[in-house]
Structure 1
Amino acid sequence: MQANNREAAAVQAPDELGVVDGSTYGAELRAIMDRSFCLAERYRAQQARADRAGSHPDIVEFERRFTARFRKLGVPMFAHCFVRGMVEQDSLFAAGLSKAHGGQSPHNYGLAVDIVHGTKAWDLTRKQWELVGHVGHEVARQLGVNVEWGGDWKFYDPAHWEIANWRDIGTSWYEPLRTPEGRV
């Protein structure tokens, strides 16, 4: 059995998820749609940009389904970061961009992903990020993976998704490969 008690029978493809209710998120969806960019070479290159090596299979599958669901809606989303080294994490903490020191973030253990818009990056409105969160939670539920979204936190981080029980999983599922720079 995989982490988060994922049951294969409960998994549905992103295509089977309900369409986002236009009366609730219609304007936000239209504002972040870019169907032509979803067909562009630059978007295809973005899909391979984040290094997935060392990432937990559940968070990788979540990201794959998440970006596929948005692509079907005409919204170019891509994984900006999965695994982050300790030195990079400490730098983000020092810059005030993270609340976690090296070793205290799920990114340090391959148990998180930051997903951003293909042309707008992090520059979405709160309501647009709310749409992203809504769809992400729907994808996770359909996949049977328990995730937490950084858009629900006091320290607002709407691009961030992590395995909900990541501290319980920790490094038990893999042996980190360390470099002199502290990259896991």
Structure 2
Amino acid sequence: MTYVLGRGSLAKLTGVHPDLVRVVKRAIELTSVDFTVLEGVRTLATQRAYVAKGASKTMRSRHLTGHAVDLVPLVNGKPSWDWSWYHKLAPAVKQAAKELNVPLEWGGDWKGFPDGPHWQLPWDKYPA
């Protein structure tokens, strides 16, 4: 089955680095799991709120500069927070990044604070 990004997902890519946008657009063509863009660019106020409630550990989030997106699998049309779906989505995103020669980090690979929805361009290749 072929999926497409909806208007809401495309709108949430506004202000996101063009290389990351290209990866997300290619990933939706490759994926076997539908997904939505939950968040792209984040305001400082939103980031502060996430840190305050423990949803984020840093005020240096790549979301603040347009270098990160959160992608959430859709299961029967609804967002899923079940890790098994993130592991099914990840190969498509990684393959898209590889095809486009865009270095990419997945929060699901982080050891200290794994973050399944989070994808970011690395600091060393894309300084803020």
Q: Would you call these one fold, judging by a TM-score over 0.5?
A: yes
**Total equivalences in the alignment:** 125
Residues 122 and 159 of structure 1 are in contact (CA less than 8 Å); yes or no, is this contact kept in structure 2?
no
Residues 27 and 95 of structure 2 are in contact (CA less than 8 Å); yes or no, is this contact kept in structure 1?
no
1:66-103, Cα deviation, whole Å (9 max, x unpaired): 12222xx3x321211110010100000101101112xx
RMSD: 2.3
Residues 58 and 145 of structure 1 are in contact (CA less than 8 Å); yes or no, is this contact kept in structure 2?
yes
1:24-173 aligned at under 5 Å gives the runs 44-50=6-12, 52-70=13-31, 73=32, 75-101=33-59, 104-118=60-74, 119-124=77-82, 126-154=83-111, 155-165=113-123, 168-170=126-128
Q: What is the identity, as a one-letter code, of the residue corresponding to 1:159?
A: P
How far is 1:167 from its partner? 7.7
How far apart, CA to CA, are the structure 2 residues paired with 1:115 and 1:63?
A: 9
How far is 1:48 from its partner? 3.2
1:104-137, Cα deviation, whole Å (9 max, x unpaired): 010000000101123342422x333222222221
With over 3 angstroms needed to count, the CA separation of the structure-2 counterparts of 1:86 and 1:166, relative to structure 1, is farther
Identity between Structure 1 and Structure 2 (%): 29
How far apart, CA to CA, are the structure 2 residues paired with 1:54 and 1:46?
A: 14
How far apart, CA to CA, are the structure 2 residues paired with 1:67 and 1:86?
A: 28
How far apart, CA to CA, are the structure 1 residues paired with 2:46 and 2:52?
A: 10
How far is 1:49 from its partner? 4.5
How far apart, CA to CA, are the structure 2 residues paired with 1:166 and 1:110?
A: 15
Greater helix percent: which structure?
1
How far apart, CA to CA, are the structure 1 residues paired with 2:36 and 2:124?
A: 22
Q: Which runs of 4+ in 1 moved over 6 A?
A: none
- Secondary structure of the equivalent of 1:137? helix
Q: What is the identity, as a one-letter code, of the residue corresponding to 1:47?
A: S
1:20-75, Cα deviation, whole Å (9 max, x unpaired): xxxxxxxxxxxxxxx6xx58xxx73443341x2322111111111112222xx3x3
Look at both structures and tell me which one has the larger radius of gyration over its CA atoms: 1
Q: What is the identity, as a one-letter code, of the residue corresponding to 1:135?
A: A
Aligned to 1:17: none
